[in-house]
Amino acid sequence: MSNSYVVRYGSTHHLGEFNCRGDLQLRRDTDVIVRSSRGVEWGAVLCKATERTRDFLSNDQDKGRILRPVSDEDRQKLESLYHTEKNEFKGCQELIAERKMQMQLVDVEHLYGGERIVFYYLAEKRVDFRELVKDLAKKYNTRIEMRQIGVRDEAKHLADYGDCGKPVCCNTHLQEMPPVSMKMAKVQKATLDPSKITGRCGRLKCCLRYEYNVYQEYQRELPKVGATVVTKQGQGKVVDLEILAKRITVQLEQKGRTTIQVDDIITVVQKKTGKEKKVSD
C-alpha cells in the first residue's frame, strides 16, 4: 500500500507527485526527504495527491518517492549545507573572475544527497562554460550543472517580500511566469508609476495578471469610453468605466456628469460604426 503526496522541493520550488510506502500519514508543511529525478532532496508536503491535483500538475513534472520525514540529524546536515553552498558560490565566482567570463553568478544549489551542484547564472550572450564545469567537478568531486536564468528567475532565487508585505509570488506558488503587459495595468486602473507596479525583478508585477481575465470579461459587457449611450436619464457620452462594479460615468447632454449601472443603459450607439446596440429595455 502506498500514499501519494504533492511535494514542493528544490531551490526553484519544483512540484511533483511522490509516493510514500506503508500507512504513513503526512500533514501539510511536513518537511520530508525525497528521491527525485535529480537525486535525494529536501522537500515539503503540500497536500495529498488526487485526480484534481494531477490535472494541475503537467505531465512532465517530477514523480518520485518520499524516503522519510526529516529528523534532527537531517536538519543539522541541512544547516551545514548552507555553509557549504556559500563556499561553493565563492569558489565558482573566483573561477569565473579568473577566466573573465561574461556571466553573473546568482545562486548555488547543493542537493541534499550530494548527487550534483547546480549553479544558476545570468548572461546576455551564450557562454562556453565547459572548462569551468571541468574545474568545478574536479574541485568539488561531484556532478556540476550550469543553468542560465532570466531576471525574473533571479528574483525567484533571491527575493523575499513584495510591496504587499507577503512573500513574493515567484518564490512561493508560481510555477510559470508568463509575460505581463502595461495594458493589464491600464485596464485595472493601477497606478502607472513604474516604482509601484514593478516587482523585485524590475519587471511588471506578476499579480497584474491575476484578475486580468475577469476585467476583460466584464469590460466586454460595458460600452467603450467615447461611445454615445441613451440612458433612463437622457443621452450622453461615456467618459469613464468602473469595470468590476459594472458602472459607467456618462456626460449627459443636459444634466451634466453622472454615474450609472450598466442596466440603466437603454441603447448604446457605437461611435465608430454609428450602429445602435440595444442593451436593455
Clarify whether residues 103 and 82 are in a common domain.
Answer: yes
Of 69, 87, 117, the residue at which a domain comes to its end is 69
- In this structure, is residue 37 part of a structural domain? yes
Q: Identify each DSSP E strand in 96-246 by its residue range.
A: 104-110, 116-122, 143-148, 228-231, 234-242
What range does the domain containing 201 cover? 169-213
pLDDT confidence of residue 264: 85
| Rounded distance between C-alpha atoms, residue 238 and residue 234, angstroms | 12
Pairing verdict, β 2-9 and 40-48: antiparallel
Report pLDDT for 276: 46
User: pLDDT digit string (tens) for 52-83?
Assistant: 888 888 766 778 899 999 999 999 999 999 99
DSSP-assigned letters across all residues of 86-119: HHHHHHHHHHHHHHT-S-EEEEEEE-TTSSEEEE
Same domain, 23 and 62: yes
Kindly report the pTM of this predicted structure: 0.75
Cα(208)–Cα(242) distance, integer angstroms: 17
Query: How many Å apart are CA 176 and CA 150, to the nearest integer?
Result: 13
Residue 2's pLDDT is 59
Buried b (16+ CB within 10 A) or exposed e, 187-208: bbebeeeeeebebbbebbbbbb
**What's the CA gap between 174 and 30, in Å, rounded?**
20
In a domain, 197, yes or no: yes
Write down the pLDDT at residue 272.
47
Residue 164 counted as domain residue: no
Positions in the chain whose pLDDT score sits under 50: 1, 272-281
pLDDT of residue 188: 85
97 and 132 co-located in one domain: yes
Evaluated on CA atoms 178, 170, 132, 93, the torsion sign reads positive
159: in domain:
no
Rounded to whole angstroms, how far apart are CA atoms 172 and 31? 15
CA 242-244-250 angle, to 5 degrees, is: 25
Dihedral-angle region of residue 195 (phi above 0 means left; psi in -120 to 50 means alpha; beta otherwise): alpha
The total of structural domains in the chain comes to: 4
| Predicted pLDDT at 273 | 47
Convert the pLDDT of each residue in 21-31 to its tens digit: 877 889 999 99
Phi-psi region of 256 (alpha: psi -120 to 50; beta: other; left: phi over 0): left
Nearby residues of 276 by Cβ (< 8 Å), 6 or more positions away: 267, 268, 269, 270
Question: Is residue 59 located within the same domain as residue 20?
Answer: yes
**Cα–Cα dist 44/54, whole Å:** 18
